[in-house]
């Protein structure tokens, strides 16, 4: 099957939508994608297609109704809130859907800045936010949003929330701290090389002093500004009496720095400015990369974007923002739109896709009076809804809270490491103090310098680098192959995995239907003909099942009617047809149908006289699923399936023998409970929907699919960016290797410390030798860790 | 060797200027997007090549 040139979705076999793009004939999955590609071609921006890294993300279909939302900006209050106005220039931030790589940013910037009246366009790929400055007397923001839509990007006006702002400030500070530490380290290193050379060749004191003062000058901001977060951590440790690595790191940095200053002023002893700066820089670098990965999936755009809905008022329907809704309001929701708030149905029944809450991917029927949850999708009728809860009181928000609770209960493997560090730190401090006291007691003038040697030798440099460098290296490798690790403990927990739990729909399957078998029951019709009839009946339906038939040619239909919860009917060539479930078919033909049909989802095509055809549908299993499950079990890992679907529909999708155990018809809370009961071991949970969120948070390690809901992503420990589940096997192997390398590193660092410590305590190690030893042992640890970035 | 007494402070001054520019750049949001900005220069180069090759074809 070929794939769409624009969005990468598979093109149905008998559908031909083609255009000549950049001199070559290209196929598309729908007219929307074709229009976008042609428009991009016309605007001379074809280079986009050669440059983008990731395909198949930016589909033409979006649930966001851009027109309605930008119509809200006609309201002056809302306009003033979202649009920053200065002189005759207006400025807005748009949260843009579907930005995946630099090519998207290039396309948007290039296209929008070619519009008359647009002054500046800047796109931030990491946060998917475009900031746009324009002259309101020449162009309106609606035109800009429309232009954005024409090249395939839906957008929402957006105001950064508090958390986004504080994260931004934090990141800026971290970059400056890191930059200063880096530059400072380089300068101090240059002086240090000269001084070491001077030690060997001989050097006049006056030059040595110049170099010492220079390195003092550069080391000072590194210690007081860049390393300030370690000192703050150490202070917190002292207050809470729980010691972490921050404390010895601070003591190491502090003592080495101040004894160097003492040596500088008294013109004796050794200066350690080089060790101090290098140590600080590498620790900061590790910390920075870790934070960067962790904050990557924090998406502020969804929460703080302007959302629109239609509210009933005295003068009919008015467009208003979702945030202004209060309990008791009546709103109108079109088919295909997401319900913005909780409420109950007023005027008519509809089908609701509740997959985001329950995991049940088939829409359910909701009648007037039934409750509707926020974040579910209205499938087939325009409905009116009375608001019962908005914002933080909705059910979707409640699930978020369950999740937060689960996170609090999460087993922390890190606690052990913490405890070890705690005693290590105490040990180091006691040893150093005893050494000083001992040597002073016997009257050695060098007691202070011997103590410094002890502290430098035991300084947890190699020890504290041992774990982070290995983790950083493995994390970077996994990100390159498509698994984004977002929490510090992920790799550690992955390496100990002995149980993997999968969600079904959207995780092991693609979450879309396909026809497995067609039974033509009427002799007068061919397979193609029944498909054409079915496609014609489903052509205007938004139900997920209808997508299956979108690929076949449709004919005009009269009297097309949606029969809620059952199917559709319509007249083609003066023959009335029904397409839907068994119940509808039985009603149509007027007698019960034999039930000797294979399990799974079956659609019936009927007339009033007879049943014309049966379509067997199934969710498509990802092609790497079987192999991945097999290789995981070969590693001795227990593989379970946990799904909200019924056991029957699970069986029709894949053989249950692929798993060690299968649990069907489980609710979101049930998934969490199940995990709690069945997991005394290290469990990895792989899932995608909002329904998996509590389970994701409650497992030792959680992996979300790249196509997951944002909530699932924020609460997971790792994200499969390309939804390739084969990577889970790879990641577990990598994590095991990573933990081996960490062990090697730790044993080396410990062995070094254990050998050097007695020597230092005995006064055999001059401080400069301690510093060189420390640098070399750190280097060894770093080089060992880089082995993780190789591909095997 | 006396020249060191001028050259080292001079080099120090350069470093201070460079770091100040760096801090200014960070504050002006230039390090906001670590993914995209680094690649921008590659794109701009392509543009010119692309435009000129298009022109020459016509």
d(CA A602, CA A235): 66
| CA max distance for chain A | 113
Query: Tens digit of pLDDT for each residue in A3-45?
Result: 777 776 667 666 677 888 777 788 887 777 788 888 888 877 7
C-beta neighbour count of B17 within 10 angstroms: 10
- Report the residue of chain A nearest B3, measured CA to CA: A207
Top mean pLDDT of A304-308, A325-329, A676-680 is at A325-329
Interface of B with A (CB under 8 A): 1, 4-5, 8, 12, 15, 18-19, 22-23, 26-27, 31-36, 39-40, 43, 46-47, 50, 54
Q: What is the per-residue pLDDT across A495-512, written as a single tens digit (0 to 9) for each?
A: 888 888 888 777 787 767
Kindly list the distances between the CA atom of residue A724 and the CA atoms of A142, A227, A704, in Å, as whole numbers in the listed order: 38, 40, 11
> Do A146 and A171 reside in the same domain of the chain?
no
A170 and A99, same domain (yes or no): no
> How far is A639 from A644, CA to CA, in rounded Å?
17
The residue written with tokens 């009961």 in the block is A677
The verdict on a CB contact (< 8 Å) between A176 and B23 is yes
Tell me, yes or no, whether A549 and A670 share the same domain. no
Rounded distance, CA A359 to CA A374, Å? 15
Nearest Cβ partner for A214 among B12, B39, B47: B12
Residue A59 included in any domain? no
pLDDT tier at A661 (50, 70, 90 boundaries)?
confident
Rounded average pLDDT over A112-140:
85
| More confident: A313 or A630 | A630
Q: Answer yes or no: do A494 and A598 share one domain.
A: no
List Cα–Cα distances, A254 to A247, A475, A730, A739, A766, in angstroms.
Answer: 10, 31, 42, 31, 19
Task: Please measure the distance between the N-terminal and C-terminal CA atoms of chain A and give it in whole angstroms.
Answer: 31
* CATH number for the domain that contains residue A27: 2.30.170
Query: For residue A451, what pLDDT band results from cuts at 50, 70 and 90?
Result: confident
How far is the C-alpha of A434 from the C-alpha of A439, rounded, in Å? Answer: 8
Å from A109 to nearest chain B CA? 11
- Count of pairs with CB atoms under 8 A, one residue in A, one in B: 61
What DSSP designation does A12 have?
P
HEC sequence for A467-506 = HHHHHHHHHHHHHHHCEEECCCCHHHHHHCCCEEEECHHH
State the total domains in chain A: 5
Residue A320 lies in a domain: no
Task: Tell me whether residues B43 and A106 touch, CB distance under 8 A.
Answer: yes
With b meaning 16 or more CB within 10 Å and e meaning fewer, what string describes A244-254?
A: bbbbbbbbbbb
Q: Would you state the pLDDT for residue A408?
A: 43
Considering only alpha carbons, which residue of chain B is nearest residue A215?
Answer: B12
Separation of alpha carbons A552 and A14, rounded Å: 6
How confident is the model over A751-761, as a mean pLDDT? Answer: 84
**Closest Cα of chain B to A385: distance in Å?**
41
Residues A285 and A183 in one domain: yes
Closest CA to A473 of A790, A792, A786: A786
Does A348 fall in a domain?
A: no
Per-residue CA distances from A719 to A298, A462, A708 (Å): 12, 30, 9
CB contact under 8 A, A210 and B8: yes
Q: Which of B6, B8, B27 to mutate to test the interface with A (most CBs of A within 10 A)?
A: B8
- Say which residues have a Cβ less than 8 Å from residue A240's Cβ, sequence separation at least 6: none
Which residues of B are less than 8 Å from A183 in CB distance?
A: 15, 18-19, 22
Mean pLDDT along residues A392-407:
56
Chain CA centroid to CA A589, Å:
50
Q: Cα dihedral sign for A370, A372, A376, A378?
A: positive
What pLDDT was estimated at residue A407? Answer: 43
User: How far is the alpha carbon of B56 from chain A, nearest alpha carbon, in Å?
Assistant: 15
Per-residue pLDDT band at B6 (split at 50, 70, 90): very high
Chain A residues within 8 A of B3 when measuring between CB atoms: none
Structure tokens at A34: 């074709």
Q: For residue A318, what are the contacts with CB-CB under 8 A and spacing of at least 6? A: A310, A311
Shortest Cα–Cα distance, B30 to chain A (Å):
10
Most A-contacting residue of B43, B50, B58 (CB-CB within 10 A), to test interface: B43
Q: In Å, how far is A524's CA from the nearest CA of chain B?
A: 57
Say yes or no: A106 contacts chain B, CB-CB below 8 A.
yes
CA distance A739 to A757: 26
A179 and B36: CB-CB below 8 Å? no
Has residue B45 got a pLDDT over 60? no
Chain B CB contacts of A123 under 8 Å are 36
Q: Does A375 fall in a domain? A: no
Highest mean pLDDT among A15-24, A122-131, A217-226, A417-426: A217-226
What average pLDDT does the segment A251-278 reach? 83
Identify the residue with better confidence: A725 or A771. Answer: A725
Q: Which of A180-184, A408-412, A570-574 has the lowest mean pLDDT?
A: A408-412
Q: Hey, of B18, B22, B33, B42, which one would you mutate to test binding to chain A, going by the most A CBs within 10 A of its CB?
A: B33
**Tokens 């829409």 map to which residue?**
A363
- Over residues A433-455, the mean pLDDT reads 80
In this predicted structure, the answer to whether residue A739 has a pLDDT above a threshold of 80 is yes
Contact A589, A609 (CB under 8 A): yes
| B1·A102 Cβ contact <8 A | no
Closest CA to A615 of A521, A511, A505: A521
Q: How many CA atoms lie within 13 A of B54 on its CB side?
A: 12
- Enumerate residues 107 to 126 of chain A having a beta carbon within 8 A of any beta carbon in chain B: 123-126
Q: What is the pLDDT of residue A16?
A: 75
- Is some CB atom of chain B closer than 8 A to the CB atom of A172? yes
Disruptive mutation site among A114, A176, A191 for chain B (greatest number of B CBs within 10 Å): A176
Classify residue A680 by its DSSP letter.
Answer: S
Residue A744 lies in a domain: no
- Above 70 in pLDDT, residue A579? yes
Task: Write phi, then psi, for A43 (nearest 5 degrees).
Answer: -80, 5
CB atoms A125 and B33 under 8 Å: yes
Residue A196 sits in the same domain as residue A261: yes
Cα–Cα nearest to A692, from A640, A622, A643, A625 = A643
Q: Give yes or no: residues A679 and A565 share one domain.
A: no
> CA–CA separation, A2 vs A537, rounded Å?
26
pLDDT for A667 equals: 73
Separation CA A777–CA A183 (nearest Å): 23
Band the pLDDT of B54: cuts 50, 70, 90.
Answer: very low
List Cβ neighbours of A462 (8 Å cut-off, separation of 6 or more): A745, A748, A749, A752, A753, A774, A777, A778, A780, A781
CB A674 within 8 A of CB A642: yes
Query: Does residue A289 share a domain with residue A178?
Result: yes
Q: Which residues of A touch B22 (CB under 8 A)?
A: 176, 179, 183
Of B12, B34, B36, the CB nearest to A217: B12
Query: What rounded mean pLDDT belongs to chain B?
Result: 76
Distance CA A210, CA A187 (A): 13
Closest Cβ–Cβ partner in B18, B27, B39 for A172: B27
Is some CB atom of chain B closer than 8 A to the CB atom of A166?
no
ipTM: 0.81
Give the total number of structural domains in chain B.
1
Chain A neighbors of B23, CB-CB under 8 A: 176, 179
Residue range of the domain that includes A591: 522-609
Distance CA A471, CA A196 (A): 33
**Contacts of residue B36 in chain A, CB cutoff 8 Å?**
102, 105, 123-126
Nearest to B15 among A47, A124, A183 (CB): A183
Q: Which of A257, A272, A295 lies at the terminal end of a domain, its last residue?
A: A295
Tens digits of residue pLDDT in A316-366: 787 777 777 888 888 888 877 778 888 888 877 888 877 656 555 567 788
The residue in chain A having the minimum alpha-carbon distance to the alpha carbon of residue B18 is: A183
Q: Are A179 and B40 an interchain contact pair (Cβ–Cβ within 8 Å)?
A: no
Question: Given an 8 Å threshold on Cβ–Cβ distance, is B40 in contact with A123?
Answer: no
- Does some domain include residue A367? no
Query: Which pLDDT band, with edges at 50, 70 and 90, does A297 fall under?
Result: very low
Q: Give mean pLDDT, residues A702-717.
A: 68
For an interface test with B, give the residue of A40, A47, A48 to mutate (most B CBs within 10 A). A47
A403 band by pLDDT with thresholds 50, 70 and 90? very low
Q: pLDDT confidence of A187, banded at 50, 70, 90?
A: very high
Nearest chain A CA: its distance from B42 CA (Å): 10
In a domain, A628, yes or no: yes
Full residue range of the structural domain in which residue B10 is found: 4-57
Query: pLDDT for A193-207, tens place per residue?
Result: 888 888 888 888 888
Rounded to whole angstroms, the Cα distance separating A123 from A127 reads 9
Give the whole-number percent of chain A exceeding pLDDT 90. Answer: 4
Q: For residue B5, which residues of chain A lie inside 8 Å, CB to CB?
A: 210
Q: Which of A124, A159, A194 is the last residue of a domain?
A: A159
Q: Are residues A671 and A647 in the same domain?
A: yes
List of residues 6+ apart from A562 with CB closer than 8 A: A380, A381, A541, A568
**Same domain, residue pair A531 and A604:** yes
Q: Are residues A172 and A290 in the same domain?
A: yes
- Give mean pLDDT, residues A274-287: 78
Q: What is the DSSP letter of A305?
A: B
Domain stop point among A736, A757, A776: A736
Q: Residue for token digits 């934070």?
A: A291
Does any domain span residue A677? yes
Q: Report residue A56's pLDDT band, with 50, 70 and 90 as the boundaries.
A: very low
What CATH number is associated with residue A82?
Answer: 3.30.70.100
Q: Is A334 on the interface with B (CB under 8 A)?
A: no
Residue A607 pLDDT > 80: yes
* pLDDT attached to residue A411: 37
pLDDT per position as a tens digit, A150-185: 887 888 888 776 667 777 888 899 999 999 999 999
Asked if residue A632 and residue A552 are part of one domain, the reply reads no
Question: Residue A95 corresponds to which tokens in the numbers above?
Answer: 């949260």
């Amino acid at each position: 099957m070929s794939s769409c040139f624009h969005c990468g979705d598979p093109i149905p076999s008998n559908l031909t939508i083609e255009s000549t793009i950049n001199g070559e004939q290209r196929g598309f999955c729908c007219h929307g994608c074709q229009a976008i590609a042609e428009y991009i071609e016309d605007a001379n921006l074809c280079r986009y297609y050669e440059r983008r890294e990731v395909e198949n993300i930016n589909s033409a279909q979006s649930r966001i109704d851009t027109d309605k939302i930008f119509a809200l900006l006609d309201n002056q209050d809302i306009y003033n809130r979202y649009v920053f106005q200065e002189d005759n220039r207006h400025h807005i931030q748009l949260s843009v859907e579907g930005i995946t790589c630099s090519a998207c940013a290039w396309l948007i910037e290039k296209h929008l800045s070619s519009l008359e009246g647009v002054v500046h366009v800047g796109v931030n790929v990491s946060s998917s936010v475009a900031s746009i400055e324009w002259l309101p007397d020449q162009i309106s923001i609606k035109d800009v949003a429309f232009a954005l839509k024409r090249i395939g990007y839906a957008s929402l006006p957006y105001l950064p929330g508090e958390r986004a702002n504080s994260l931004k400030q934090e990141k800026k500070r971290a970059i400056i701290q890191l930059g200063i530490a880096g530059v400072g380290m380089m300068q101090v290193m240059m002086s240090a090389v000269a001084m070491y050379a001077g030690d060997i060749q001989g050097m006049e004191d006056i030059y040595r002093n110049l170099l010492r003062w220079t390195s003092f000058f550069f080391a000072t901001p590194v210690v007081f500004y860049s390393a300030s977060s370690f000192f703050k951590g150490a202070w917190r440790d002292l207050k809470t009496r729980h010691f972490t690595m921050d404390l010895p790191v601070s003591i190491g940095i502090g003592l080495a720095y101040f004894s160097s200053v003492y040596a500088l002023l008294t013109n004796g002893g050794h200066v350690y400015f080089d060790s101090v700066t290098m140590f600080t820089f590498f620790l900061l670098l590790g910390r920075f990369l870790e934070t960067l990965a962790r904050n990557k999936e924090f998406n502020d755009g969804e929460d703080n974007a302007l959302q629109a809905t239609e509210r009933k008022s005295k003068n009919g329907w008015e467009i208003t923002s979702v945030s202004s809704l209060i309990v008791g309001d009546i709103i109108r929701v079109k088919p295909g739109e997401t319900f913005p708030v909780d409420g109950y149905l007023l005027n008519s029944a509809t089908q609701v896709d509740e997959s985001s809450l329950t995991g049940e991917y088939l829409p359910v029927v909701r009648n007037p009076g039934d409750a509707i949850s926020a974040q579910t999708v209205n499938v087939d009728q325009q409905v009116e809804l009375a608001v019962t809860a908005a914002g933080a009181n909705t059910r979707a928000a409640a699930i978020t809270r369950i999740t937060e609770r689960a996170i609090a209960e999460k087993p922390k493997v890190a606690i052990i490491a913490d405890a070890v560090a705690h005693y290590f730190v105490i040990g180091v401090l006691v040893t150093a103090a005893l050494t000083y006291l001992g040597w002073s007691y016997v009257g050695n003038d060098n007691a202070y310098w011997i103590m410094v040697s002890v502290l430098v030798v035991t300084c947890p440099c190699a020890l504290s680098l041992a774990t982070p460098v290995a983790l950083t290296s493995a994390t970077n490798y996994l990100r390159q192959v498509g698994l984004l690790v977002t929490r510090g403990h992920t790799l550690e927990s992955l390496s100990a995995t002995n149980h993997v739990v999968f969600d079904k729909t959207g995780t092991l399957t693609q979450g879309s239907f396909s026809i497995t078998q067609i039974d033509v029951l009427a002799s007068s019709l061919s397979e193609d003909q029944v498909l054409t009839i079915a496609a014609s009946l489903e052509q205007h339906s938004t139900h997920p099942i209808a997508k299956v038939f979108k690929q076949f040619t449709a004919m005009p239909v009269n009297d097309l009617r949606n029969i809620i919860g059952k199917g559709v009917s319509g007249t083609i060539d003066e023959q009335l047809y029904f397409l839907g479930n068994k119940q509808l078919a039985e009603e149509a033909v007027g007698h019960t149908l034999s039930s000797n049909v294979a399990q799974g989802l079956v659609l019936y095509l009927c007339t009033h006289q007879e049943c014309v055809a049966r379509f067997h549908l199934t969710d498509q299993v990802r092609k790497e699923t079987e192999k991945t499950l097999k290789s995981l079990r070969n590693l001795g890992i227990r593989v379970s399936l946990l799904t909200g679907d019924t056991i029957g529909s699970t069986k029709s999708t894949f053989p249950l023998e692929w798993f060690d155990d299968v649990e069907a018809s489980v609710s979101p809370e049930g998934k969490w409970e199940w995990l709690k009961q069945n997991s005394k071991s290290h469990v990895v949970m792989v899932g995608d929907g909002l329904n998996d969120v509590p389970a994701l948070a409650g497992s030792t390690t959680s992996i979300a699919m790249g196509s997951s809901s944002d909530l699932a992503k924020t609460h997971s420990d790792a994200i499969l960016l390309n939804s390739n589940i084969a990577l889970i096997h790879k990641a577990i192997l990598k994590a095991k290797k990573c933990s081996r390398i960490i062990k090697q590193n730790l044993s080396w660092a410990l062995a070094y410390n254990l050998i050097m410590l007695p020597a230092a305590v005995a006064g055999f190690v001059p401080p400069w030798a301690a510093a060189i030893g420390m640098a070399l042992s750190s280097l060894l640890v770093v080089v060992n860790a880089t082995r993780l970035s190789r591909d095997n | 060797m006396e020249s060191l007494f001028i050259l080292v402070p001079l080099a120090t001054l350069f470093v201070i200027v460079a770091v100040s520019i760096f801090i200014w750049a960070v504050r002006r949001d230039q390090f906001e997007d670590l993914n995209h900005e680094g690649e921008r220069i590659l794109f701009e180069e392509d543009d010119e090549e692309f435009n000129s090759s298009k022109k020459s074809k016509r």
